[in-house]
Structure formats: C-alpha cells, structure tokens
Chains A and B, each alone.
Chain A
Amino acid sequence: MSHPDTRAVSLRDRMLIASVALAAIVVGVFVATILAVSAARTATEQEARSKNLSVQALRLEKLVLDVENGVRGYAFTRDRRFLRPYNAAVRSMPSERRNFRALAKDQPLQAERAKHIDELIGYYIDTFAIPVLAFRNTAAIELAYNNVGRTQAADIHRRFATFISEENALSQDRERAADSKSRHAMELGVVGLTGSAILILLFAIYLARGIARPVTEAAAGAGQVAAGDLSIRLSQKGPGEVGELTKSFNEMAERLQATRNELESQNAQLRESERLKSDLVNTVSHELRTPLSGVLGFTKLLLSRDFDAETRRHYLGIVDAQARRLSDLLDDFLDVRRIEEGRFERAKELVDMATLLEEEAQLYSQQSPKHEVEVEIDHAPLAVIGNPDRLRQVIGNLISNAIKYSPQGGVVAVIADRENGHVRVEVRDEGMGIPLNQQSKIFTKFFRGDAAASGITGTGLGLAVSRDIVESHGGRIGFESAEGEGTTFFVELPGVNGVKFRQGHDDDQS
C-alpha cells in the first residue's frame, strides 16, 4: 500500500538523503575553494616566472653586450684583458640561452620571439664575434664591426627590448589575473562556508521542527494520557514515521477514551442496577410487611381476644384482603420472572375493550371514595385480539396508578375509541404528574422515582409488566405528563373490525 503524500519516504531515508546532500554540498564548496586557491597559486607562479624570464632576458642581453664590448675592445686594442668578460660571456652563454628559451616557452608568442633572439645571438656569435677575433687587420675589424656587428647587435637589443616590454605587459596581466583569482578564491571560500553553515543550520531547524518538536509533543501527550487526560490529541504532522507516530498516538488516545467511556457507562449502569436492587429490597420489605402486619396482627387478635361475630367477620375480611394483596404481590414478581424468562402466557381470544374498561373502572371506583372514575366510550364494542386477563391487568394497573398518583383525589378519566385501525385507550388523571427527569425511566423495572419517599405504595413493576403485555399484543404504551397537572397514559392495540359480541353490540364501524 502506497501513501499518496510525501510521507511515503521513511524518516531514515529522509535523514540519509538530507545528510548526504549536505555533505555533497559542503565537499563541493571545499573542492571549488581549493581549485580556486590552486588557480590563484598557478597565476602567482606564472607571474613569478614572468619576472624570472625578464631577469633572464636582461642577463642574456648583458652577456650579448659583454660579447660585443669584448670583441670591439680586443679588436681595436689587441689587449687580451678585453677578452676576459668576452670569454666568461661565451662560456656561460649556452646555459643562459637554454634557460632563457626554457623560461620563455610558457607563452607561444614570447617563445617564438625568444627562439628568434636565441638564433640571432647564435648567428651573431658564430658569424661575427668568433670570425672577427681571428682578423689581424684593424681596418677589416672596424669594417666588419661597422657593417655587420653593430647592425646585428642593434637588432638583438631591439628584439630584447620588445621581448622584455612584452614580457612586462604579460607579467602585469598575470599579476592582475593572480590578484583576481585569489580574490575569487577568497570570495568563494567565504560564500561557500557561509552557505554550508546556513544549510547545516537549516538542517538542524528541520530536525528540530520536523522531528524533535512532534516527538516532544508526543512525549508530553503520552505523559498527559498517563495522568488520565484522554482528551489530548496531537497535531498530525512531521515526516514519515513521526507523522505515523502522532497518528497512531491519536488513534490510541481515541480508542482509550472510547474504552473508558464504555467502562464508565457500564459502571453507571451497574451502579444504577445496584441502586434499583437496593430500592427493591426496601420496596419488597415495605410491600410485604404492611399486608403481613394486617394478616398476623388480626390473626393474633382473633386468637387471643373475644369479639362478637360481626367484628370477627369484619376482621377476617381484612385478613383475607391483606392475604390476597400478598398473593397479588407474589404474582407481580412472578410476572417479572416470566418476562425475564420470555414465557409470558399469551393465549389470545376476541376481547371487547369497551366492556373490559367499564368493569375495571367500576372495580376501582369502589376502592377509592376520593376519586371519581369516569368512562367515555363513543363507539362500542372495541374489539381486539388478546388475553383478557393480561389486558385487564394493564388497564387495572393504569387506573390504580392514576388513583395512587393523585392522592388529593379528583377525576380519573378512561377514554377509548378507534383510531386508524387501532383501539386507543387513555387513562387521564389530575394528579402530581411525572417529573421531567424521571419520564424516561418509568418503564424500568423497580423504578419508583419519588414515590417511595412520598409514601405511595407499589413495587415499581406495574408499568414494566404492562409494557411487556401491550407489546406482546402488537401494541404500544406511552404517556404525556406535566408535573403538578396530571398524567395521561395511553395504550394502542390493533383493532378488529366487523365483530359481533354475544352481548349484542353492533360494530357500527363496519
């Protein structure tokens, strides 16, 4: 798999490439500087040789003068003393001439001139100096000197003058060249070294920014994660592996945070379930002890004291009612077990909800003198398919809740009608309502909200069981509530049309 961006180049390769490039540049700069210095030295040497050549030319010319003066002096005086500089000059002439030509060979034009001068000197000595010294006749010497020697010598001197002036010009050129080359070398050295220093600095900055800083940030981030702050994220930059490191770090922090959130929410759920369990213990304790007190207390009284028949029957009635309450309570708990084990009894038949509602309303209206249970049904019958005992349980639970949660008394309205093929039942009270923060939990098993504290009895199971029953009938249950104004619970069950019940209601919707 290839990355589309520049991070494909690994960090090691980048460092290697950068180091090699930097080294190459530095080496290049040094080579160039050394070359420039060497060129400057060559130019200086050439300049020196030029000066040597001029000196050599002057020395040679001096020898030629010695030869000339020697010849002339001896020829006119016959004094052998004049021959001393001549002989010395002739003796050293060959080596000086060789030196002269050798020194002059740097520059072709000057080499040509030197060669010519050398040949002229050779010709002058061979054809003039040596033959003239052999002459006995002074007049012949003078003639030869005047006609040949002087002209030749003058020519040689002229050529020497040209040569030296040329060589001086050349020497000045070379001096200028040497100056310029050494200046050039110096400049190159300064520029090259400065450039290399800047490049090294840039490389260091690149290392610091591109690698050191992200790595430092990652280390700081890791420290924060270790300290428990999982919200930390790094800016995803830096080359190759460093970029990968920050990316991986962020992914790790992300995953750690997700895991911790999950754990925390599981923990909260556990705590909630612990709390519900503890509530349940209190609830069971209260719900069992109150009827149990009635049963045990009245039984004890009946056993230990004498009462008249009417009182006895009354007390036995209470014992019976309280024992039934215990039994109902047990049923509630068993229902929960059945819900949890998924084996709720669901034998279904045709049920008229209108009749069922009337019967339940009547039952509960007898139980609470403070409440008035009103039933509004415009279209009877309201046929559904379901288990009549279970549906009765749901409606009974809703009406009983409506009564319990409006302790001041008031109207409990039971309203039912057809709606979009469903049978909709509403149970409306004018009671305390459900606080907003508890509305999402009221179908939770054993949840009782503030009910326990306000002395309202119950197990926290009724609505959980009711919802399971309604859903097993393909319906839904819900509510609307405003705190302090009352609550309306509704149940919607799939309706059945065109049904005749034995009681003789006609289904006027068919």
Chain B
Amino acid sequence: MRRRSTSSASGNGWPAMERRKTILICDDEPALRELIRASMGDGFEFAEASDGIIAMELAREVTPDLVILDLMLPRLSGLEVLARLNDDEGLRDVPVLVITAWNETREDVLAAGADEFVTKPFDPDDLRSAVNRLVAA
C-alpha cells in the first residue's frame, strides 16, 4: 500500500507562511494508519507505506519531516528500515517515532536510532504531542 495524501482541510485557517510538514506513516494495518492520520488532525501531509520496501522508496522520494514506524513490517522489518534511514545521507536527520506492539525496551529502540517510542495501544493525544515535539525540534 502506497499513498500520498494531504489532510482533508487544506488551507482552512492555517497560516500559509509555513510549508506543511510531511509525515511518512509505515504500518501494515490500514486501520492503524487511519488512526494515526486522524490523531494528527489537519495541518500535515501524509505518505503511507504498508511494508518496509515501500517505506524506503517513499522516504527517498518525499524526504519526510517525520517517520512514524511500526517495527513489525512485511518484507523489510522496522528495525531494518531504521538502519537504512540512518545510513542514508539525506534521511539521517529525519526524526523517527517508533510504534510497536512487541516487547522491545525503550532503550533498545532508541539505541537503534529512533527518536521517540510509543507502544500499542496508544493515546491519540499523546501521539500528537510527541509528533509535534519532534517536528518542532
């Protein structure tokens, strides 16, 4: 699954001075991608990948401002995506927020190159504030 979309209400009251941030959502579960989009609300552009290979392709194509990454991805695992992002000159500085249902420790994931860590199930408001923090930084 590969999709690029903007949030529904483009230009409805948001200042035009700022380019809208692009978030790459990598999760094989369509319902969760939708939940993440809905949690973020308006004001972002989204690219969506349903597996690790597509995630890397899209990341190189759009150079997102943030990657939200599920660790359990088909074809190319989330940890592998994380490693490849860190190896890529143009993508190294893109902040990565990891969402996982597995039992990895926060330390392991942060050590692997992630900037933030959220476990399933997550609170949409927590996710949004984490994303805002990372994007603002």
Q: CB < 8 Å: which of B28, B34, B41, B119 contacts A455?
A: B28
What residues on A are CB-neighbors of B38 within 8 Å?
297-298, 301, 315
Within 8 A of B (CB), among A452-485: 452-457
Contact status A286-B35, CB under 8 Å = no
Q: Is A290 an interface residue (CB 8 A)?
A: yes
**Distance (Å) between the CB of A342 and the closest chain B CB?**
33
Interface size on B, residues (CB 8 A): 26
**Within the assembled complex, what's the spacing in Å between the Cα atoms of A294 and B77?**
21
What residues on A are CB-neighbors of B74 within 8 Å?
407, 454-456
Q: Is B86 an interface residue (CB 8 A)?
A: no
What residues on A are CB-neighbors of B102 within 8 Å?
282, 285-286
Contact status A285-B103, CB under 8 Å = yes
What residues on B are CB-neighbors of A281 within 8 Å?
103
Identify the interface centre among A282, A295, A454: most chain B CB within 10 Å of its CB: A454
**Distance (Å) between the CB of A5 and the closest chain B CB?**
67
Q: CB < 8 Å: which of B31, B41, B75 contacts A294?
A: B31
Q: Is B113 an interface residue (CB 8 A)?
A: no
Residue of B nearest to A305 (CB): B41
Contact status A285-B121, CB under 8 Å = no
Q: Is A321 an interface residue (CB 8 A)?
A: yes
Within 8 A of A (CB), among B119-133: 119-125
Q: Is B72 an interface residue (CB 8 A)?
A: yes
Known A-B contacts A294-B35, A298-B35; the reply to A455 vs B75 at CB < 8 A is: yes
**Distance (Å) between the CB of A183 and the closest chain B CB?**
104
Complex interface bits, B97-136 against A, C-beta within 8 A gives 1, otherwise 0: 0000111000000000000000111111100000000000
**Within the assembled complex, what's the spacing in Å between the Cα atoms of A292 and B121?**
6
Within 8 A of A (CB), among B54-68: none
Q: Is B7 an interface residue (CB 8 A)?
A: no
What residues on B are CB-neighbors of A407 within 8 Å?
51, 74-75
Contact status A293-B72, CB under 8 Å = no
Contact status A455-B125, CB under 8 Å = no
What residues on A are CB-neighbors of B121 within 8 Å?
289, 292-293, 295-297
Q: Is B47 an interface residue (CB 8 A)?
A: no
Complex interface bits, A262-293 against B, C-beta within 8 A gives 1, otherwise 0: 00000000000000000001100110011111
Q: CB < 8 Å: which of A292, A293, A298, A455 contacts B73?
A: A455
How many residue pairs, one in A and one in B, have C-beta atoms under 8 Å apart? 78
Complex interface bits, A293-309 against B, C-beta within 8 A gives 1, otherwise 0: 11111101100110000
**Distance (Å) between the CB of B71 and the closest chain A CB?**
9
Q: Is B6 an interface residue (CB 8 A)?
A: no
Q: Is A50 an interface residue (CB 8 A)?
A: no
Q: Is A318 an interface residue (CB 8 A)?
A: yes
Report whether over half of chain A's contact residues are helix, strand or loop; otherwise say mixed. helix
Q: CB < 8 Å: which of B29, B34, B51, B124 contacts A300?
A: B124
**Within the assembled complex, what's the spacing in Å between the Cα atoms of A293 and B68?**
15
What residues on A are CB-neighbors of B120 within 8 Å?
289-290, 292-293
Within 8 A of A (CB), among B14-55: 28-29, 31-32, 34-35, 38-39, 41, 51-52
Identify the interface centre among A300, A321, A455, A456: most chain B CB within 10 Å of its CB: A455
**Within the assembled complex, what's the spacing in Å between the Cα atoms of A452 and B102?**
10
Contact status B77-A455, CB under 8 Å = yes
Known A-B contacts A297-B121, A297-B122, A297-B124; the reply to A290 vs B73 at CB < 8 A is: no
Complex interface bits, A340-371 against B, C-beta within 8 A gives 1, otherwise 0: 00000000000000000000000000000000
What residues on B are CB-neighbors of A295 within 8 Å?
121
**Distance (Å) between the CB of A510 and the closest chain B CB?**
47
Q: CB < 8 Å: which of A290, A298, A300, A457 contacts B125?
A: A300
**Distance (Å) between the CB of A337 and the closest chain B CB?**
23
Known A-B contacts A290-B32, A298-B38, A455-B73; the reply to A282 vs B103 at CB < 8 A is: yes
Q: Is A401 an interface residue (CB 8 A)?
A: no
**Within the assembled complex, what's the spacing in Å between the Cα atoms of A289 and B51?**
19
Q: Is A322 an interface residue (CB 8 A)?
A: yes
**Within the assembled complex, what's the spacing in Å between the Cα atoms of A305 and B38?**
10
**Within the assembled complex, what's the spacing in Å between the Cα atoms of A322 and B120?**
14
Residue of B nearest to A292 (CB): B121
Complex interface bits, A437-458 against B, C-beta within 8 A gives 1, otherwise 0: 0000000000000001111110
What residues on A are CB-neighbors of B73 within 8 Å?
455
**Within the assembled complex, what's the spacing in Å between the Cα atoms of A322 and B121?**
12
**Within the assembled complex, what's the spacing in Å between the Cα atoms of A286 and B104?**
12
Within 8 A of A (CB), among B72-108: 72-75, 77, 101-103
**Within the assembled complex, what's the spacing in Å between the Cα atoms of A34 and B51?**
110
**Within the assembled complex, what's the spacing in Å between the Cα atoms of A293 and B125?**
13
**Within the assembled complex, what's the spacing in Å between the Cα atoms of A455 and B32?**
14
3 pairs of A and B residues whose beta carbons are closest in the complex: A289-B101, A293-B121, A289-B120
21 sampled A-B residue pairs with Cβ under 8 A: A282-B102, A286-B101, A286-B102, A289-B119, A290-B29, A290-B120, A292-B120, A293-B32, A294-B35, A297-B32, A297-B123, A297-B124, A298-B35, A301-B35, A318-B31, A318-B34, A453-B77, A455-B72, A456-B74, A457-B28, A457-B29
Additional A-B contacts beyond A289-B121, A294-B31 (5; CB < 8 A): A292-B121, A293-B32, A301-B35, A305-B41, A318-B34
